[in-house]
Homo-oligomer: A and B are copies of this chain.
Amino acid sequence: MTKLSLRFDPRMKRTLNTWNLAGQMPLLSLILLCAATAVLTNRFLSPFNLTNILVQSSIMAVIAMGMTFVIVGGGFDLSVGSTAALSGCVAGMVMLEAGIAAGVAAGILAGAAVGLANGVVIAFLNVNPFITTLGTMVLVRGVVFLITGGAPVSGESGLPSEFVAFGSGRFLGIHYLVWIPAVLLAVLSFVMHATPYGRRIYATGGGREAAYLSGVAVRRVIASTYVWCGGLAGVAGVMLAARLQSGQPTAGEFYELTAIAAVVLGGASLQGGEGTLYKSVIGVFIMIVLGNALNLLNVDSYWQRVAVGAVIIAAAAAERLRSHRASSQ
């Protein structure tokens, strides 16, 4: 072992070593899916459709990144869909009164507040994350209906036009909605991999007791992952409001399951301690491209469900190949 090789990030090294197959199953699945669709319909690779896919993936990608924090930290969050709806509606309502900046800030803060509540209950009261976030999922949805009266939030004459324009606008040819997850991915990957805080999340998820005995403030770390998740669900909710040109109280149903599926497809373990942001985003692409492909191919909506279910299982089974050698049983 030379002195030099020590300077490499061991993670990167491992990735390189095993690039060929293991660890890259999610990417391979995605490429396979794209290739198959491209063969079946030439419209798939049209610039217009690729833009569609990016935009359609953008919101779920932001949610899945938040979910990655929680899952790596050993947790679980079912409340992201309701939280996104709350944030979108709060953003819309505040925006109509106090301007775009205030609205956006309020929406994101509302999301982070839900995350904080989840985090405190789970980490400090030790309540099971599944049941806690199931509770908040239902509760927050109720709050959304209460504050909106169940009606979409768009005021008399719609949300502010700059905000609506943001939902479909572009910068350097790429939608703003796509820039957001791109920038977040870069920044958050840095947080998870290059900061002590990030390493503590992995350690806590990988072995809470051992992390605790190594001086990690495990409760605070766990609570913080839910704040990230809630805050990012808030960002997603605001993006959704921009895209739907309104705050939608019913938005975000089933987002939690899609997001968790994406993160798991990206190779994270629900046991905690494993998972990578960019792979979670690949997991999102798998889910979105699949839906897009089935729509392009005009597959009957009943068969679509069958196909989606089958592909989820198949992709997860493929991902298992990777870890197969690692686990003895």
Residues of A within 8 A of B (CB): 78, 121, 125-128, 130-132, 134-143, 145-146, 150, 208-209, 212, 218-219, 257, 260-261, 264-265, 269-270, 301-313, 316-317, 320, 324, 327-329
Copies in the complex: 2
| Docked CA distance A127–B319 (Å) | 8
The 9 closest A-B pairs by CB, nearest first: A139-B309, A142-B305, A135-B313, A142-B306, A138-B309, A135-B312, A145-B302, A131-B316, A135-B309
The answer to whether residues A270 and B128 also contact, given A142-B302, A143-B306, A208-B329 and a CB cut-off of 8 A, is yes
B264 A138 Cβ-Cβ under 8 A? no
A309 B128 Cβ-Cβ under 8 A? no
| Docked CA distance A317–B265 (Å) | 31
Q: Which residues of B contact A324 (CB under 8 A)?
A: 126
B130 A260 Cβ-Cβ under 8 A? yes
A139 B320 Cβ-Cβ under 8 A? no
| Docked CA distance A327–B301 (Å) | 47
A131 B312 Cβ-Cβ under 8 A? yes
Between A and B, 15 residue pairs with Cβ closer than 8 Å are A121-B313, A125-B320, A128-B320, A131-B265, A134-B257, A134-B312, A135-B308, A135-B310, A139-B305, A139-B306, A141-B305, A142-B302, A145-B302, A146-B306, A219-B329
Q: Which residues of B contact A140 (CB under 8 A)?
A: 309
The answer to whether residues A138 and B219 also contact, given A131-B264, A208-B329 and a CB cut-off of 8 A, is no
Q: Which of B132, B260, B327 contacts A316 (CB 8 A)?
A: B132
Q: Which residues of B contact A303 (CB under 8 A)?
A: 142, 146
Closest to A218 in B: B329
Most B-side CB within 10 Å, residue of A127, A130, A327: A127
A135-B312, A136-B309, A212-B329 given; 13 more Cβ-contact pairs under 8 Å = A130-B260, A131-B312, A131-B313, A132-B316, A134-B257, A135-B308, A135-B313, A137-B309, A138-B309, A139-B309, A142-B302, A142-B303, A142-B308
| Docked CA distance A7–B270 (Å) | 41
A150 B270 Cβ-Cβ under 8 A? no
